[in-house]
Structure 1
Amino acid sequence: MQSVKVVFHIDEVEKWPLLLANARNLIKVVDVKASSIVVLVNSKAAIIFEEQNAGVSSLDKEQANQGDLVKELAENGVEFKLCQNSLNGLGIAIDSLPVYVDVVPVGVLELIEKQADGFAYIKP
């Protein structure tokens, strides 16, 4: 199996199902331990983390399932990085986030750095 360096970028809530499917399919065919697979979350896409942690009753079945898939991917070596600016704008407290999420100060800077380090960029 080959190793990869890839950053998935998501900024729209509606794109979560496609991104999660792409990431899930990828980890089936690459050497995850030798790879670096990152999901960079900014803008309104970060809201999924607030909802899954706060136990918001408005969570529908699809959104709850997405939260489960995110956790599953994280447990399988996919890194999730959230933009601090986006969290601030959405009023999401860092201490309410799942333990498998890392917060970066500026999401777009993280994307620039990853691409400069040779990461492939994928935006569903």
Structure 2
Amino acid sequence: MEKTKVLFHVSENEVWPKALTNIQNFLKDVSDNQVEIELVANAGAVNFYYDNDKVNLHEQMSSLSSRGVKFAACRNALQAHSLKEELLPEFVQVVPGGITEIVKKQSMGFIYIKP
């Protein structure tokens, strides 16, 4: 059976808690080996990866990552906000462009969700 592929798109910091809850709730309904999930952050949402006041949410992201959820940050947005790639949490991969990643994943059959 082919995995269900889901792409979450976060472009605003205030959406992060909702997006992470959406992913957790989704994973309650399907087994980890039946789904491929990626969350792409672009625009101002990339700042969240660096927010040390959000330790509990960073722990939640790390836990989701250990279950196979992929987290991506847009390089264009990182550069626009003068953020250093090497300071990202280890579970975050950098993609050249958030929108490019979204288009690529949708062409691969990912279902797009913007919480």
TM-score by length of 1: 0.86
SS across alignment from 2:68:
coil
- Pick the aligned partner of 1:113 from 84, 93, 104: 104
Cα deviation digits, residues 63-88 of structure 1 (max 9, x gap): 22211111111111100011000111
> Where in structure 2 are the equivalents of 1:72-87 lying within 5 Å?
72-87=63-78
> Where in structure 2 are the equivalents of 1:20-39 lying within 5 Å?
20-39=20-39
Q: Distance in 1 between matches of 2:100 and 2:3?
A: 24
TM-score by length of 2: 0.92
The root-mean-square deviation of aligned C-alpha atoms, in Å, is 1.4
Gaps of 5+ in 2: none
Cα deviation digits, residues 42-97 of structure 1 (max 9, x gap): 01111111123xxxxxx2xxx22211111111111100011000111111111111
Name the residue aligned to 1:14.
Answer: 14
Would the aligned equivalents of 1:4 and 1:30 in 2 still touch at CA under 8 Å? no
> Where in structure 2 are the equivalents of 1:49-60 lying within 5 Å?
49-52=49-52, 59=53
Matched AA of 2:104: E
SS across alignment from 1:68:
helix
